[in-house]
Amino acid sequence: MNILILFFGFLFGGLLVYARLNRFDVISGNAMLKDMTIAKAILMTIGVGALLLNVEIWLGLASYHVKPFIAGGVLLGGIVFGIGMAVLGYCPGTLAVSTGEGSLDALTGIVGGLLGGLVFTVLKPELNPVLGPNWGKLSLFSLTGQHSVLFFVLLLVLAIVFVVAAFALHGYEKKKGFSGLNYRWLYSGIGLAVLNSIVFLKATTNRPIGASTSYPYVADRLAGATQNGYFSKISTPGHWELIFLSGALLAGLVFALLRKDFKFRWVHQRWIDTQGPSAGKRIFWAFVGGFILVFGARMAGGCTSGHIISGGMQLALSSLVFGIFVFASFIVTGKLFYRNP
């Protein structure tokens, strides 16, 4: 089973590398509204994936793994996560892939994320009143009263809306004269939808793709902070995601070597253009961003891959709301943070 999970992680990393979805310049560019690749790929993944996954579930080949709508955690966690994602320029999953490519700022972000995961574990009992209330595992399926006709009509409508929105963003980029446009986001988005649908299958792993739980899992084990209820809750998914991200990191390394562009680097071009060439400044903000990113992910109970994409494919209300708050915070922070030095 571990080999299968590692393989899925490798495919995940490969799909991110193909469309450069893991790159700092691409993610920070989206925060500045100068590169919509990330948003387009996510919308496409949710649109296509919602159809694939829900048909699988209807056929009895997979099951729902909807995250509960813990109101404070989803809303506040979404805001915090968006801030961290903009400042860091990576997500919990893309950190592993870019580290494999030699990006030392991504490795720094991982270290910050590990500390963020550990601090969240320690503070979790005090944060519980802030994270609630728990409104349950709400999704389109549960909200339609499991009425199959109404559910599938709305499913089809929403899937079309997501796909059309992705192409609309691409049209916007063309109209604005964005350079370097291609359709790799489309193929990667479809590929991620197919991969996640396979991971969901009862015959494979019977769970969604995810990444952020691995951070407190590793940090808590390293710090010996395992004698608590939170670690007991995250130990199984955290172990799964650690193997999955190991495969993603391996993909980053392998494809960088095959392309012959593996290179250790602290700063990337968009950082230089907006923040200057200082490696020390980048190290500081990468660490801070990693801490904020993972802390926000743990507040919300998931990240870009495990909440927005996997939850979005299930049309889970918590995940869709989380995604809205993440991107709102992400764009506001990007506009404020990335300015000419």
DSSP class of residue 207 equals S
Residue with tokens 């998931």: 302
Nearest Cα neighbor of 139 from 200, 196, 192, 64 is: 64
When divided into structural domains, the chain yields a total of 1
Nearest Cα neighbor of 289 from 120, 110, 123 is: 110
Peptide bond preceding 133 in cis form (omega within 30 of 0): yes
C-alpha span between 239 and 244 (Å, rounded): 9
Domain that residue 135 falls in: 2-337
pLDDT for 147 equals 77
Task: Note the pTM of the prediction, 2 decimals.
Answer: 0.96
Full pLDDT tens readout for the chain, 341 residues: 899 999 999 999 999 999 999 999 999 999 999 999 999 999 999 999 999 999 999 999 999 999 999 999 999 999 999 999 999 999 999 999 999 999 999 999 999 999 999 999 999 999 999 999 999 999 999 999 877 899 999 999 999 999 999 999 999 999 999 988 999 999 999 999 999 999 999 999 999 999 999 999 999 999 999 999 999 999 999 999 999 999 999 999 999 999 999 999 999 999 999 999 999 999 999 999 999 999 999 999 999 999 999 999 999 999 999 999 999 999 999 999 998 65
pLDDT for 340 equals 63
C-alpha span between 103 and 253 (Å, rounded): 10
CB 68 within 8 A of CB 136: yes
pLDDT for 179 equals 86
The dihedral formed by the CA atoms of 185, 191, 196 and 201, expressed in degrees to the nearest 10: 160
